[in-house]
Amino acid sequence: MKRPGLTASMLWPALIVILPLLFGPLLVLLHESLKPHIAGRVGGDATSALTLENYALLAGPEYAQYFLDTFRIGLISTVLALMLGYPMAHFIVRRASPIMRRILIASLIGTLFLSLIVRIYAISMTFGSLGPLAGFSRLLGIAPTSPSVAELMVVLGLLNTTMPLVALTLIGTIQNINPRLEDAALSLGAPHWKTFVQITLAMSVPGILSAGIIGYAFCISNLVVPMLVGRGFVLFVSNLIYFRFSEVANFPSGAALSIVMMVISLGIFYGLLHLVRTQWQEAGK
């Protein structure tokens, strides 16, 4: 008893509003990225022929560093988030009392809901040179004046969002592992660590990869964290795009960077997620 008329009419409002808001800007970006840039002008030259010059310039070695920094620091933050987020999710699902579970889940969602700007401000006041945890960088063997401190701050800033994000995603994964498998291993004399690694962790691999991809997509597209705590030493591709808009006013180059960044983000997200889902489909069932 399908009512195609009613169904279609419910979809129309979203299609009419969202599709132009999504594709309009992307097409304008694509068009702008193909226009030649004339020094001193904000927008590209509309009269000349379209060119791929803006993309060719991005292939230069001076841009490679920004891309590499973005991907490397994003990866470090994601791996750390998974390392710390997995035990948290495991604790919530397997060990926490119902009240503890509620408090922890509320705190995880609360952390994500608290304004990112406020959290980054709090981190810079805590780990900054006058903060109570200023010695944390020395603990890791980083001199307080070296550029690596900026990198550490960016990692801590990204971690603050990726940890709860990853933990909330992993709660779903661990919840769907039958606890009797762990009980069986323990009752057969397996040590706790071995049960954890060979059963719980092993069965979570697809979930861990999915959570990692979601966290990584957040990290590499971030603008605010490097802007506020990167001290100019750490700049992500997002920051370059923002500079093209706010300081250099080279819109064609900013548009080309945007298109490249979008393709990479979509590729990582849908491509890798699809790969994980198809590779592990049998194992997950």
CB atoms within 10 A of CB 227: 18
- Supply the minimum distance, in Å, between the C-beta of residue 8 and another protein: 7
Shortest Cβ 14–another protein spacing (Å) = 4
Nearer to another protein, 25 or 56 (CB): 25
Nearest CB to another protein, comparing residues 61 and 285: 285
Q: Which of 269, 265, 238 is nearest to 254 (CA)?
A: 238
SS3 content of the chain, % helix, strand, coil (to 5): 75, 0, 25
Q: Which is nearer to another protein, 10 or 61 (CB)?
A: 10
- Mention every residue, 6+ apart, whose C-beta is less than 8 A from residue 204: 86, 170, 173, 174, 177
Nearer to another protein, 131 or 147 (CB): 131
- CB of 255 closer than 8 Å to CB of 55: no
The Cα 64–Cα 240 span in angstroms is 12
Given the structure tokens 């550029």, which residue do they identify?
147
Nearer to another protein, 98 or 141 (CB): 98
To the nearest whole angstrom, how small is the minimum distance from the Cβ of residue 191 to another protein?
5
The residues, any chain, with a CB within 8 Å of residue 159's CB and separated by 6 or more, are 77, 80, 81, 84
Q: Tell me how far, at minimum, the Cβ of 63 lies from another protein, in Å.
A: 16
CB of 147 to another protein, least distance (A): 19
